[in-house]
Amino acid sequence: MDRIHLGWELYRSFLAVLREGSLSGAARALGLTQPTIGRHVDALEQALGIGLFIRSQHGLAPTDAALEMRPYAEAMEATSDAMLRAASGSSGEVRGAVRVTASEVIGAEVLPPILTKLREEHPDLVVELVLTNRMEDLLQRHADIAVRMVRPTQEALLARRIGEIELGLHAHRDYLARRGTPGSLADLESHAVIGFDRENAFIRGLQRRGIAVYREMFALRTDSDLAQLAAIRAGFGIGVCQVSLAKRDARLVRVMPDAFAPKLDTWIAMHEDLRASRRCRIAFDALAAGLSDYVGPAR
């Protein structure tokens, strides 16, 4: 097959239809008209010689070919975004955009004051903050800087260990006043426990350490760490919270610290190709310093 050169706008519309499931939804997402999205999809299908979507009264369903193309189109999208961030500021100036990814709790509860100080010192810097518990791929440039709760393994990354974040079981003091304070993990059976809806790597790690945690024991099940934290603060029951974060709120009481005290190894990483970017280096150092103050001395 001869090499086909197609404009990024066709793949951009293709991705939007994949994500939204309809031409109208893709048009709203991209700020384009529905006929324009339709022409882009038709042009891509004709150029590639394959069908990408199956039309039905419920919308557009992707074909196997479309699903196979998705990760490559997303890589193109990430590269396009990274190019725009790189173009937004020269390597010698602290200006332009830096994209940071972090877990929900770190991004919503810990990073805002750090980013505020960074912005005050460098007012031309723009921060794009992505809150996700998924492992964003720095090699694919989905983000410039990542705060991770596991050691990065890719050789092409610059990584710095921040330290360990201790976790503990916490409850609102009003809840404990109503229900009493458990004295052992077995006592949790008579309490409203806040936990996960779907098993993840952290839960499996606890199970390997002999800590019995399972879905059926939870009175509130959610995979959102922010929702769990909000429920603890509201007095719903007992849940897991970062110890340093709980100390900021006098209403939250830690229970059974000797029985439950797992730690999260915390790292910050960025692609080594960004070493020459002054805005990325300064943002990286500011995040590392602020997180180190939050975590405390590395052990």
Q: What's the pLDDT tens digit per position in 82-106?
A: 777 666 655 456 788 899 999 999 9
| Distance, CA of 120 to CA of 129 (rounded, Å) | 17
**Residue 104 within any structural domain of the chain:** yes
**Residue 3 within any structural domain of the chain:** no
Ordered alpha helix ranges (H), 128-189: 173-179
| Inter-residue contact 264 to 167 (CB < 8 Å) | yes
What local confidence, expressed as pLDDT, does residue 195 receive? 93
User: Which of 46, 63, 83 represents a domain boundary (last residue)?
Assistant: 83
User: Which of 31, 48, 83 represents a domain boundary (last residue)?
Assistant: 83
CATH number, domain with residue 120: 3.40.190.10
The type of residue at 54 is: I
What local confidence, expressed as pLDDT, does residue 249 receive? 96
| Distance, CA of 117 to CA of 220 (rounded, Å) | 36
Q: Tell me, yes or no, whether 64 and 208 share the same domain.
A: no
**Residue 13 within any structural domain of the chain:** yes
Among 272, 243, 226, 76, residue whose Cα is nearest residue 164: 243
**And the tokens for 114?**
């750090």
- Per-residue pLDDT at 298 exceeds 70: no
Extended beta strands in 73-151, E state: 96-102, 125-131, 145-148
pLDDT band at 1 (very low <50, low <70, confident <90, very high): very low
Q: Tell me, yes or no, whether 219 and 279 share the same domain.
A: no
- Per-residue pLDDT at 297 exceeds 80: no
Q: Tell me, yes or no, whether 115 and 254 share the same domain.
A: no
220 three-state secondary structure: strand
What local confidence, expressed as pLDDT, does residue 83 receive? 72
**Residue 39 within any structural domain of the chain:** yes
| Distance, CA of 127 to CA of 118 (rounded, Å) | 10
Lowest average pLDDT, out of 97-106, 258-267, 268-277, goes to 268-277
Q: Tell me, yes or no, whether 69 and 97 share the same domain.
A: no
Q: Tell me, yes or no, whether 202 and 254 share the same domain.
A: yes
Q: Tell me, yes or no, whether 205 and 91 share the same domain.
A: no
Most confident of the following: 134-138, 154-158, 199-203, 223-227: 223-227
Among 124, 82, 115, 134, residue whose Cα is nearest residue 274: 82
| Distance, CA of 95 to CA of 85 (rounded, Å) | 10
Helix, strand, coil shares, percent, the chain, to 5: 45, 20, 30
**N residues, the chain:** 299
User: Which of 83, 98, 127 represents a domain boundary (last residue)?
Assistant: 83
**Residue 25 within any structural domain of the chain:** yes
Q: What are 23-47's pLDDT values in tens digits?
A: 999 999 999 999 999 999 999 998 8
Q: Tell me, yes or no, whether 248 and 289 share the same domain.
A: no
**Residue 2 within any structural domain of the chain:** no
**And the tokens for 262?**
């797992």
- Per-residue pLDDT at 286 exceeds 80: yes
Extended beta strands in 132-179, E state: 145-148, 157-172
Q: Tell me, yes or no, whether 158 and 220 share the same domain.
A: no
Q: Tell me, yes or no, whether 173 and 257 share the same domain.
A: yes
Lowest average pLDDT, out of 82-96, 161-175, 281-295, goes to 82-96
Most confident of the following: 16-20, 156-160, 167-171: 167-171
What local confidence, expressed as pLDDT, does residue 93 receive? 64
| Distance, CA of 9 to CA of 27 (rounded, Å) | 12
* Residue 230 domain boundaries: 164-262
CATH number, domain with residue 70: 1.10.10.10
Q: Is the pTM of this model over 0.85?
A: no
Comparing 276 with 13, the larger pLDDT belongs to 13
Round the average pLDDT of the chain to a whole number and report it.
Answer: 87
Whole-number Cα distances in Å, 37 to 23, 68, 196: 6, 20, 39
Q: Tell me, yes or no, whether 169 and 257 share the same domain.
A: yes
What local confidence, expressed as pLDDT, does residue 274 receive? 81
Q: Tell me, yes or no, whether 270 and 123 share the same domain.
A: yes
Long-range contact list for 286-293, CB < 8 A, 24+ apart? 286/114, 286/117, 286/118, 286/121, 287/100, 287/111, 287/114, 287/118, 287/145, 287/147, 288/160, 288/162, 290/110, 290/111, 290/113, 290/114, 290/117, 291/110, 291/114, 291/147, 291/162, 291/266, 292/162, 292/163
Q: What are 242-256's pLDDT values in tens digits?
A: 999 999 999 999 999
What local confidence, expressed as pLDDT, does residue 88 receive? 61
**Residue 269 within any structural domain of the chain:** yes
Q: What are 173-189's pLDDT values in tens digits?
A: 999 999 999 999 899 99
**Residue 1 within any structural domain of the chain:** no
**Number of domains composing the chain:** 3
Q: Tell me, yes or no, whether 26 and 71 share the same domain.
A: yes
